[in-house]
Amino acid sequence: MFIEPNRRREPPHLRTGWIEVICGSMFSGKTEELIRRLNRARIAKLNVQIFKPALDTRYHEENIVSHSALTIRSTPVQSADQIPDLAGNCDVVGIDEAQFFDKDITNVCNILANQGQRVIVAGLDMDFSGKPFGCMPQLMSIAEYVTKVHAICVVCGDIAHYSYRLVPSQSRVLLGETDSYEARCRRCFHLGDHAGPKEWAYEDVKNEE
């Protein structure tokens, strides 16, 4: 469980900033955790600014929406370098779907943290082929706090941290939901279309009969 560090109420030039990264596969609860932290910051009367890439319009053109239907207002931006000016001198900056931003997002997060702001970033750590996704490895390496969340494999029920693509597109960026992706464990991800229930699942059922 992530223990949130204290956000001291100090003048901007005296504040200590930091970066938090929330990562994992699709359907793992990344956005839900991001929204939870941002709402807690607002309850603490902190000034919060939230951003997402403009290309992500799956649920809403402006709001950030989790798979469980939690929502929070955000500002869509075309590029990472727009964020510092829009964030201004706020206390907390939230960024969703960081893997879709250009490479400048790493420098932007450093700038914000260096000027005393708490930066909370959520994104996919791997793409549909199981390779590190965009800027996420760099963000994870410079962050003070990294939280990796997991989904449940839809094939066997194990812990899942891969996003398996169900449609025949090879484009690295393909927005989609359960009709295009499903969460899978390592074994079922690599088995691909040949994945099926594990033998022990049938044994458990037999033992219960």
Residues marked as binding for substrate? 173-176, 181
Q: Which residues contribute to the annotated binding site?
A: 24-31, 96-99, 153, 156, 173-176, 181, 185, 188
Q: Would you tell me how many other CB atoms lie within 10 Å of the CB of residue 37?
A: 20
Query: Which one is catalytic: 97, 182, 199, 209?
Result: 97
Report which of 66, 138, 147, 73 is spatially closest to residue 109, judged by C-alpha positions. 138
Q: Which residues contribute to the annotated binding site for Zn(2+)?
A: 153, 156, 185, 188
Report which of 178, 85, 185, 84 is spatially closest to residue 130, judged by C-alpha positions. 185
**97 in catalytic set:** yes
Q: Which residues contribute to the annotated binding site for ATP?
A: 24-31, 96-99
Parallel, antiparallel, or unpaired: how do β-strands 92-95 and 159-160 relate? unpaired
Q: Which amino acid, 118?
A: R
- The strand ranges marked E within the chain are 18-24, 48-53, 64-65, 71-72, 75-77, 92-95, 118-124, 145-148, 151-152, 159-160, 162-165, 181-184
Tell me the backbone φ, ψ of residue 95, rounded to 5 degrees. Answer: -135, 120
Distances (CA, A) of 67 to 27, 89, 100, 141, 184: 7, 31, 18, 27, 16
Catalytic residues: 97
